[in-house]
């Protein structure tokens, strides 16, 4: 059993400021020399990029569906052995989804604090906070954070009516200059924000100024569970991975898994016109190819290299944006059509409304995998799916899995630790 101070940061809804508050706490502690490990609940690539910059450490997902209890337990136990503080940011509202943030907090006994947007609220703040506290009695709420307050007097008003066992931990001001830029899939990636470190320090300053006396991060016990070592199923295999602003949707756990399986990894940037490395297999993760069509189209060797890779029968996994880059054409949200690589027949159209969202379970020929889907584009292709995913929550999203020779493509962002053997079998070819 290992102990470490820990806090689960949730909210009544998306948009309340969970990421900003989590990043503020992380940066506040990290710049004082504390070792901070941050986790994100559920599938997400954008918030973790901000939280990684704030804490200075990679951010991993905790998801009871994609990874399972034992996997999440192992990640927390590993973090507890090396950190002074563990922060877990929730997803959506505290009780939203299945599994929900509340389910995860209960599973690991994590103390919860809710961030509430108080910008248009007074005494009702206490009613909302106590309602969240009492909805599931097995949750331990250690306090509440008021976000976007108008003044110190507003902050004092918000604390009125809170019970003694649910103190106002902090009151943070409404400050437009601290708002992070967003686009259609969420926050702008950390690597695209040149002023992010300045903002993170400003958030930390606001947290320290708004913190009420008496907050203590209490040690939590984490069972020292470690997952069994993986056999080196990919020993001697070199896997190339596209990684830049166009292909940035990469779970840290996926990279760790490939290395644990013995693979040698070689990263390259298509939008910086780096050549495809010599490799045995290739992974094109999701991202924003639609925002970088000119750079991709001007790459002098990419199209031929990808076509040659597939023609040689080498495995290529293309996920979501990685799949869009391989198509014949892509029409962006402005209606402009762009020629793409042309390795996979079909065309896609980026629309202004959400096309699909949800957790996904999918049966690969090598075995079942889990992941999620979240995209604004639609796809037309003559390829027939070899399999369709299912949504564990019964939603409409059921993504297709396509296969053409050694190319496998889908809108699904796969979570590799959900089936290491299947991943190894595919990349072995």
Give the model confidence (pLDDT) of 41-63 as tens digits: 999 888 898 999 999 999 999 99
Structure confidence at residue 177 (pLDDT): 65
CA distances from 323 to 116, 127, 283, 291, 347 (A): 38, 47, 10, 15, 10
**Tokens matching residue 154:** 């507003």
Of the pLDDT bands very low, low, confident and very high (cuts 50, 70, 90), residue 178 is low
Tell me: pLDDT of 351 over 80: yes
Tell me: pLDDT of 185 over 60: no
Structure confidence at residue 228 (pLDDT): 78
Residue pair 384/409 in contact (Cβ under 8 Å)? The answer is no
Judged by DSSP in three states, 62 sits in strand
2-222 and 238-428: same fold? yes
Q: Is the dihedral of CA 87, 93, 97, 103 positive or negative?
A: positive
What per-residue string of b and e applies to 339-368 under the rule 16 or more CB within 10 Å gives b?
ebbebbebbbbbeeeebbebbbbbebebee
- What is the value of pTM for the model shown? 0.94
Rg (CA), the chain: 22
Residue pair 213/168 in contact (Cβ under 8 Å)? The answer is no
Residue range 2-222, CATH number: 3.40.50.300
Structure confidence at residue 192 (pLDDT): 61
Of the pLDDT bands very low, low, confident and very high (cuts 50, 70, 90), residue 89 is very high
Structure confidence at residue 421 (pLDDT): 98
Structure confidence at residue 187 (pLDDT): 60
Which sequence spans correspond to the domains of the chain? 2-222, 238-428
d(CA 167, CA 139): 16
List the 264-268 sheet strands across, edge first: 264-268, 238-242, 281-284, 316-319, 407-410, 400-404, 387-388
Instruction: Share the mean pLDDT of the chain.
Output: 93
Structure confidence at residue 394 (pLDDT): 85
Tell me: pLDDT of 225 over 90: no
Tell me: pLDDT of 71 over 90: yes
Q: E strands of 24-70, at which residues? A: 36-41, 60-62
Structure confidence at residue 229 (pLDDT): 86
**Residues with catalytic function:** 320
- Across residues 140-147, what is the average pLDDT? 95
- In this structure, which topology does domain 238-428 adopt according to CATH? Rossmann fold (3.40.50)
């Amino acid at each position: 059993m290992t102990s470490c101070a820990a806090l689960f940061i949730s909210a009544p809804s998306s948009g309340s400021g969970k990421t900003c508050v989590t990043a503020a706490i992380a940066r506040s502690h990290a710049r004082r020399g504390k070792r901070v490990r941050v986790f994100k609940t559920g599938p997400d690539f954008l918030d973790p990029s901000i939280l990684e910059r704030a804490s200075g450490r990679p951010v991993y997902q905790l998801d009871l569906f994609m990874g399972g209890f034992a996997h999440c337990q192992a990640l927390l136990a590993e973090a507890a052995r090396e950190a002074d503080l563990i922060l877990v940011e929730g997803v959506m509202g505290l009780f939203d989804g299945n599994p929900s943030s509340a389910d995860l907090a209960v599973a690991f006994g994590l103390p919860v604090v809710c961030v509430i947007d108080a910008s248009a609220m007074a005494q009702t703040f206490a009613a909302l906070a106590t309602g969240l506290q009492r909805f599931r009695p097995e949750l331990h709420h250690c306090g509440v954070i008021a976000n976007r307050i108008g003044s110190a007097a507003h902050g004092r008003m918000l604390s009125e009516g809170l019970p003694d066992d649910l103190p106002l931990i902090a009151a943070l001001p409404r400050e437009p200059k601290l708002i992070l830029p967003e686009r259609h899939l969420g926050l702008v990636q950390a690597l695209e924000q040149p002023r992010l470190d300045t903002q993170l320090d400003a958030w930390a300053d606001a947290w320290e100024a708004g913190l009420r006396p008496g907050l203590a991060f209490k040690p939590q016990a984490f069972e020292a569970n470690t997952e069994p070592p993986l056999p080196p199923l990919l020993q001697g295999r070199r896997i190339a991975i596209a990684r830049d602003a166009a292909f940035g949707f990469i779970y840290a756990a996926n990279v760790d898994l490939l290395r644990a399986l013995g693979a040698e990894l070689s990263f390259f940037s298509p939008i910086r016109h780096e050549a495809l490395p010599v490799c045995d297999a290739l992974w094109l993760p999701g991202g924003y190819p639609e925002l970088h069509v000119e750079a991709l189209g001007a790459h002098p060797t990419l199209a031929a290299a990808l076509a040659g890779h597939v023609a040689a029968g080498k495995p290529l996994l293309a996920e979501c944006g990685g799949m869009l880059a391989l198509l014949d054409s892509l029409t962006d949200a402005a209606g402009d059509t762009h020629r793409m690589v042309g390795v996979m027949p079909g065309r896609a159209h980026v629309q202004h409304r959400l096309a699909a969202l949800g957790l996904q379970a999918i049966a690969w020929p090598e075995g079942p995998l889990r992941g999620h889907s979240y995209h604004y584009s639609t796809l037309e292709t003559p390829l027939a799916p070899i399999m369709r995913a299912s949504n564990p929550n019964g939603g409409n999203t059921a993504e297709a899995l396509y296969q053409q020779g050694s190319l496998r493509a889908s809108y699904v962002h796969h979570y590799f630790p959900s089936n290491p053997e299947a991943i190894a079998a595919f990349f072995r070819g």
